Structure 1
Amino acid sequence: MKEQVARRVTLVRAIETADVKHEVLSDDDRMYASRSARELAQWSAADGKSPLTLDHFLEQRSEQILKRLAERTPALRSFLHRRPLLPLLSALLPLLALIAGAAIDHIADPHRVDLLSAPLLLIIGWNLLVYLILLVWLLIPARRTGWVGPEWMRRLSVGKARLPRKLPAPLAAALGEYTADWTQLSWKLTHARLSRTVHLSAAAFALGAILSLYARGLLTEYAAGWESTFLDANQVHTLLSWLFAPALFLFPIEGFSVADVQALRFVQEPSGAGGARWVHLYAATLLLLVILPRLVLSLFAGWRAARLARRFPIDLQQPYFRNLATHIGAGPGPVTLRVLPYSFTLDERRDRGLSAIAVSMYGEQTRVMLRPSLPYGEDPKGILLDLRPDAGDATVTAVLFNLASTPEQENHGALLSAIARQLPGVGVLVDESSMTERATHPTGTDPRVAERIALWRQFCTHYQLPVTIVNLLQPEKYKADMQGGVAAAGAR
């Protein structure tokens, strides 16, 4: 699925999920959109002589729904035309970097070229440090890709946070949900595009410095030399020999000796002889150590971004999409939901409630595989030895926690990390039934319950795992939230 299609599909899913009472989209609207989308997708598939797929159907359906909502709600139309920050940043940042690179060398004397030029040495040293950090990240990958905070990623992916005014309440809630969902879904794509922009800007910065050196050299005569309180000519020669070794090896540039370096010390009379040699050496070094590596990294990040944009990773095994697949005769097959309770034993009523929730999520053919309760505080590695991705017949895996317990990084977090590494796509269910039974507000507005739910959501977000709040004694309570489902684990 292409990126723009996935963006519209994600928005429509958020709208339909938030519009529980069908105030924004009536049953007729949804049925008409599905029927029209099926016909359009069939025509498109026939013209292209390709089979009808769920991707084609979802693309047509999302266009039908958003077009109808935009006609009814002008405020939504303005939201649909909103552009994220990243495209503007991708065009502007390299240009600013080129200008800054051209200006930075003017901090020094414009009539001399320093062999120990602080700005140029800083550019080279910083880029070498960045390459080392990238290598470390490659060998020791983090759980979350990237170095930009969630708020900035949201701005880069979606745009400004403020929603349009005069939106119906369900639509406003849906747009807020979409903003969070799309930021999460497009995290890798946005990071790849941002990396491409940063690497391209670093190359432009170094190119600006080179252009500045040559431009000033055309109009003025450089006095080449160096000065240092702590370094002598031998040490400076050694440093420059290491620094310029790649340029001297690859380009026909004249080398230098200790005597040459000693003769250029600024305590003597400055000399204009040989200034071009040092300009060529610095330019070649910046080209080899900064510009070319950064361009390669930029091209690689651009390739990753283009691949993700063409094949956007959206999970079509979620209940929302599996239910829509029935409109094109590709309904979901039997699903086995493997549930791993953590320090939590289910009685008969909660066991029946879990089965009802599984049916709400994945359809009537869903079967629940309830595993024995995982002991609190035990080493998760020993507990999960038999949970290999190729073991058993489970199609979806979820860890079940009790809302009454406070999430702990050393216990709950360690378990989630171990399971996520062993079973990609695992989800989290948090049952509130035991806590609401003891709640002081029988109407379900107990602030302690709301605070604990927010705490669990934040905790699972830290581990990049989808979380669904459930009530095993009242399976219908969070039926709308269940439409997001638990991500498929690929555990066949």
Structure 2
Amino acid sequence: MNEQAARDVVLVRAIETADHAREILSEDDRRHASRSATELAQWQASHAGLPVTADTFLQQRAGQILQRLSERHAAFGAMLRRSGALKLFWTGLPVVALLAGIFMDRITDAHRVDLLSPPLLLIIGWNLAVYASLLVWRWLPFGKLKNSESTLVRLLSMGRTRLPRKLPPVLANALLAFLAEWGQLSRRLTLDRLARTLHLGSALFAIGAVLSLYARGYVAQYSAGWESTFLDAGQVHALLSALFMPAMAIFPLQGFSLADIEALHFGQTPSSSLGGARWVHLYAATLFLLVVLPRVLLAGAAQWRVNKETRNFPLNLEQPYFRKLLKALGGAPGMLRVLPYSFAVDEARDKGLSQLAVRLLGEHARLMLRPSVAYGDEPHDALREFKLNDSEATVTAVLFSLAATPEKENHGALLDHLVRASARGIAVLIDESGYLERVGTQAGGKERMAERIDLWRQFCRFHQAPATFVNLLHPDAHTLDDGAGLALSATT
């Protein structure tokens, strides 16, 4: 699935997730989109002589839904057709860098080549520092931080997007959720694009500086030399020898001696007016070897990654939302496997879990209810016979009661064990029905419920297992965001 198709699919998922009340997309709209997408995907596959793929089906379905919403809401359709300024940014920044290199003030005097030119030395020194940082970045403390919340990355992933005022609230909320999610999903691709652009811009900036040197040389006579308060001729000779050594080793350029450097000290001899072209060639060759060539190679590597990710965007289709949709293409029904902890699931709550499985994985979904783990049992011993990574289970979730107070040595120990042992992740279901019956009608009951929910949410987040709150006696009381919380248990 390419980037554009993945973006459409993620946008449709955000819309369907936000529209849990079916305000802008009825159930008939969704079923019709699935049927039409199935027919189109099968027709395309038959025409090409290939099997039907999930990518094709989801892409066709997303196109159907977006077209229908565009017809119903003109502002939404206009926003989809509007092209952002990102393409201009990606192509314009290197051009600006080239022009900046050409017109950079004081790159050299109109009649002078400074052997210790600060701008040229700064260009070379900065790029060498960048190469060094790229080699050690991953081992630096701040280089390990995940900048998933970076404003810059989110801005570069979608551009500055303004939502139309005439959109229905549900659709506006869905778009906001999509922008946040897409910024996360496309983070790697955005960073690769940014790396490509910056490397290319740096190469073009150096090329612009070289062009500026040669352009002035055709219309003015350069006077080559140097001057320094702290460096003598020997030190300048050593510095320039090290700087120009790669260029002189590769290209047939004229070298220089200590006597040449002494003779080129400004103000000491009239011979300093000679030999400007030699130093222009040396600087140009050095900039090519140390700046232009490495930056072009780095930009090419980044572009290769961009092409790869653009053609095959890494969108995880193992999440319950996609598994539920892909049942339209056939295949075994999904299975929700539930592991209760210190929780006796009666008949009514068992039915609630079955309804939950259908909402998550489709009408043919199955429920596998495991025996409850007793309070205080050692997780390793209690789950000795439990095949956590069984491929038959689409989603595996631990079931807790909101009435229980989360304890690190019991509930936390179980979650830690499951998170470590699971190759596909683990989710958490927290049933509020028992606690709601106990405190719901009491004075301050709502506040107590909110406090307990917040406590469980923070507890599960700490143990790296996102919590989904449900009411098993009234399964429709909560929206499940099509398994947003449970999705982690189906990721690979």
Please indicate the TM-score interval, normalised by the length of the shorter structure: 0.7 to 0.9
Which residue of structure 2 aligns with residue 66 of structure 1? Answer: 66
Residue 344 of structure 2 aligns with an amino acid whose one-letter code is: E
Residue 469 of structure 1 aligns with an amino acid whose one-letter code is: T
Q: In the superposition, relative to structure 1, how do residues 171 and 42 fare at CA in structure 2: closer, same or farther (>3 Å)?
A: same
Which residue of structure 1 aligns with residue 21 of structure 2? Answer: 21
Check the 8 A contact 2:37/2:57 in 1, yes or no.
Answer: yes
CA distance in 1, matches of 2:421, 2:238: 50
CA distance in 2, matches of 1:287, 1:210: 9
Deviations 1:3-51 (A, max 9, x none): 1111111111111111111110111111111111111111111111111
Check the 8 A contact 1:12/1:65 in 2, yes or no.
Answer: yes
Q: CA deviation at 1:327?
A: 1.1
Which residue of structure 2 aligns with residue 378 of structure 1? Answer: none
Which residue of structure 2 aligns with residue 171 of structure 1? Answer: 171
Residue 154 of structure 2 aligns with an amino acid whose one-letter code is: R
Which residue of structure 2 aligns with residue 127 of structure 1? Answer: 127
Which residue of structure 2 aligns with residue 94 of structure 1? Answer: 94
Q: CA deviation at 1:123?
A: 0.7
Q: CA deviation at 1:188?
A: 0.9
Q: CA deviation at 1:453?
A: 8.8
Q: In the superposition, relative to structure 1, how do residues 466 and 288 fare at CA in structure 2: closer, same or farther (>3 Å)?
A: farther
Residue 133 of structure 1 aligns with an amino acid whose one-letter code is: S
Q: CA deviation at 1:487?
A: 3.2
Which residue of structure 2 aligns with residue 379 of structure 1? Answer: none
Q: CA deviation at 1:103?
A: 2.2
Task: State whether structure 2 residue 198 is matched by structure 1 residue 202.
Answer: no
Which residue of structure 1 aligns with residue 157 of structure 2? Answer: 157
Residue 116 of structure 1 aligns with an amino acid whose one-letter code is: L
Q: CA deviation at 1:275?
A: 0.9
Deviates more, 1:429-438 or 1:185-194: 429-438
Partner of 2:51, secondary structure, is coil
Deviations 1:247-299 (A, max 9, x none): 00110001111111111112424622111111111111110111111111111
Check the 8 A contact 1:358/1:367 in 2, yes or no.
Answer: no
Partner of 1:167, secondary structure, is coil
Q: In the superposition, relative to structure 1, how do residues 354 and 266 fare at CA in structure 2: closer, same or farther (>3 Å)?
A: farther
Deviations 1:342-396 (A, max 9, x none): xxx6433599688875665446335467997999xxxxxx99xx9xx99766766
CA distance in 2, matches of 1:208, 1:336: 63
Partner of 1:106, secondary structure, is coil
Which residue of structure 2 aligns with residue 297 of structure 1? Answer: 298
Q: In the superposition, relative to structure 1, how do residues 126 and 446 fare at CA in structure 2: closer, same or farther (>3 Å)?
A: farther
Partner of 2:194, secondary structure, is helix
Q: In the superposition, relative to structure 1, how do residues 425 and 162 fare at CA in structure 2: closer, same or farther (>3 Å)?
A: farther
CA distance in 2, matches of 1:72, 1:5: 21
Which residue of structure 1 aligns with residue 309 of structure 2? Answer: 308
Superposed, 1:206-217 pairs within 5 Å as 206-217=206-217
Residue 343 of structure 2 aligns with an amino acid whose one-letter code is: D
CA distance in 2, matches of 1:172, 1:448: 29
Check the 8 A contact 2:124/2:290 in 1, yes or no.
Answer: yes
Which residue of structure 2 aligns with residue 348 of structure 1? Answer: 344
Check the 8 A contact 1:355/1:367 in 2, yes or no.
Answer: no
Which residue of structure 2 aligns with residue 180 of structure 1? Answer: 180
What's the TM-score, normalizing by structure 1?
A: 0.81
Partner of 2:468, secondary structure, is strand
Deviations 1:203-242 (A, max 9, x none): 1111100000000111111111111111111111111111
CA distance in 1, matches of 2:367, 2:176: 31
Which residue of structure 1 aligns with residue 319 of structure 2? Answer: 318
Identity rate of aligned residues, in percent?
47
Partner of 1:348, secondary structure, is coil
Which residue of structure 2 aligns with residue 481 of structure 1? Answer: 481
Task: State whether structure 2 residue 466 is matched by structure 1 residue 470.
Answer: no
Check the 8 A contact 1:200/1:295 in 2, yes or no.
Answer: yes
Partner of 2:103, secondary structure, is helix
Partner of 2:166, secondary structure, is coil
CA distance in 1, matches of 2:84, 2:191: 14
Deviates more, 1:154-163 or 1:319-328: 154-163
Partner of 2:487, secondary structure, is coil
Residue 57 of structure 1 aligns with an amino acid whose one-letter code is: F
Which residue of structure 2 aligns with residue 279 of structure 1? Answer: 280
Task: State whether structure 2 residue 323 is matched by structure 1 residue 327.
Answer: no
Q: CA deviation at 1:70?
A: 0.3
Q: In the superposition, relative to structure 1, how do residues 211 and 80 fare at CA in structure 2: closer, same or farther (>3 Å)?
A: same
Which residue of structure 1 aligns with residue 8 of structure 2? Answer: 8
Residue 348 of structure 1 aligns with an amino acid whose one-letter code is: A
CA distance in 1, matches of 2:445, 2:69: 38
Deviates more, 1:242-251 or 1:78-87: 78-87
Partner of 1:113, secondary structure, is strand
Residue 280 of structure 2 aligns with an amino acid whose one-letter code is: V
Deviations 1:306-327 (A, max 9, x none): 1101111111111111111111
What's the TM-score, normalizing by structure 2?
A: 0.81
Check the 8 A contact 1:396/1:490 in 2, yes or no.
Answer: no
Deviates more, 1:259-268 or 1:15-24: 259-268
Q: In the superposition, relative to structure 1, how do residues 149 and 266 fare at CA in structure 2: closer, same or farther (>3 Å)?
A: farther
Task: State whether structure 2 residue 425 is matched by structure 1 residue 426.
Answer: yes
Q: How many residues align structurally?
A: 465
Structure index of larger Rg:
2
Check the 8 A contact 2:138/2:144 in 1, yes or no.
Answer: no
Deviates more, 1:51-60 or 1:203-212: 51-60
Q: In the superposition, relative to structure 1, how do residues 258 and 368 fare at CA in structure 2: closer, same or farther (>3 Å)?
A: farther
Tell me, which stretches of 5 or more residues in structure 1 are unaligned? Answer: 376-381
CA distance in 2, matches of 1:424, 1:209: 53
Check the 8 A contact 1:85/1:156 in 2, yes or no.
Answer: no
Deviates more, 1:95-104 or 1:391-400: 391-400
Check the 8 A contact 1:354/1:472 in 2, yes or no.
Answer: no
Residue 44 of structure 1 aligns with an amino acid whose one-letter code is: Q
CA distance in 1, matches of 2:44, 2:360: 31
CA RMSD across the alignment? 4.0
